[in-house]
Amino acid sequence: MAEELKEAGGKVRLYVTAPLAAGAAVAPDEGQTHYLLHVMRAKAGDRVALFNGRDGQWLAEIAQAAKRAVILRCLTQSAPQAEVPDLWLAFAPIKKTPSDYLVQKAAELGVRALLPVFTRRTIVSRVNIERMGANAIEAAEQSGRLSVPRVAAAVPLERLLADWPRERRLYFCDESLDAAPLAEAARGHGGPAAILTGPEGGFDPGERAPLRALSFVVPVTLGPRILRADTAALAALAIWQSVAGDFSQQGKFEP
């Protein structure tokens, strides 16, 4: 966490689960406490920004900084609560390092939920949801978001589709068949929406046909080159945000 926060301009921004309101006392968790005391060398009176996904962003000060405990006190709300656009990413899990990267980037690009999904050619058999959640929090803190992406339990593709909320468009990044470019298919369709990307080996033909037959599935292409799984997911999120999401909104959040 430390390094990323410093890179974001020296402003400390923490995600907490406690309610935030004027005068409320908040105890950061163990990792945040360590970070504040031993990385930032925070002292009583120093200021940080807090968010919890519900109460907006709050300016807080360090009320107590003992050897192993910190108490923060909320001063004023610096931004009202706001949500990212209603976009999910359903993705075949990939190896550890690219997976960390994917979760981080997807959170920065403003995804609302991450849904790992096992496809026929998915090689990775175990998904570390806790690790994904921690990466998502870190990226949310760094990016100025006021919410943390939800990380769903990994499920097989059939299960994902059977339980799918039908009013949510699912943009299926199809590698080899004819499909509309994502920028054209998504333009003006502000959500609810989701992107579906496959594993390194792509989708199986036995998965493609049933997918394309579903009313909520929109097959899309990401151009003529073969993209790695994580590249495809990030490119699709960026394109969706630019034609249907909030990339046309001005102004960065400031703690």
Positive or negative, the CA dihedral 38, 39, 41, 42 is: negative
CB of 250 to a second copy, least distance (A): 6
CA distance 186 to 11: 35
83 forms part of the interface with a second copy (CB under 8 A): no
# residues contacting a second copy (CB under 8 A): 51
181 forms part of the interface with a second copy (CB under 8 A): yes
CB of 153 to a second copy, least distance (A): 26
Residues pairing with 219 in the sheet: 172
135 forms part of the interface with a second copy (CB under 8 A): no
Cα 103 to Cα 67, 86, 96, distances in angstroms:
33, 17, 11
CA distance 82 to 211: 33
Using CB under 8 A as the binding rule, the residues of this chain from 136 to 175 that contact a second copy are 142-145, 175
Of 239, 162, 229, which Cα lies nearest the Cα of 196?
229
Using CB under 8 A as the binding rule, the residues of this chain from 7 to 66 that contact a second copy are 7-9
Give me 130's structure tokens: 């806790």
CA distance 161 to 117: 10
225 forms part of the interface with a second copy (CB under 8 A): yes
Is the distance from CB of 244 to CB of 190 less than 8 angstroms?
yes
145/169 with CB nearer a second copy? 145
CB of 176 to a second copy, least distance (A): 6
| Binding window for a second copy (CB under 8 A); candidates: 16-24, 151-159, 208-216, 220-228 | 220-228
Which alpha helices (H) appear in 48-114, and where do they start and end?
96-108
Cα 63 to Cα 11, 28, 228, distances in angstroms:
18, 12, 48
| Binding window for a second copy (CB under 8 A); candidates: 31-39, 49-57, 158-166, 225-233 | 225-233
CA distance 27 to 71: 5
104 forms part of the interface with a second copy (CB under 8 A): yes
Is the distance from CB of 84 to CB of 58 less than 8 angstroms?
no
234 forms part of the interface with a second copy (CB under 8 A): yes
Residue in 183, 190, 204, 211 binding a second copy, rule: CB under 8 A: 183
| Binding window for a second copy (CB under 8 A); candidates: 15-23, 43-51, 69-77, 234-242 | 234-242
222 forms part of the interface with a second copy (CB under 8 A): yes
DSSP state, 120? Answer: T
CB of 105 to a second copy, least distance (A): 5
Which stretches of the chain bind a second copy, using CB under 8 A?
A: 4, 7-9, 101, 104-105, 108-110, 142-145, 175-176, 178-179, 181-184, 200-202, 221-228, 231, 234-236, 238-239, 241-243, 245-253
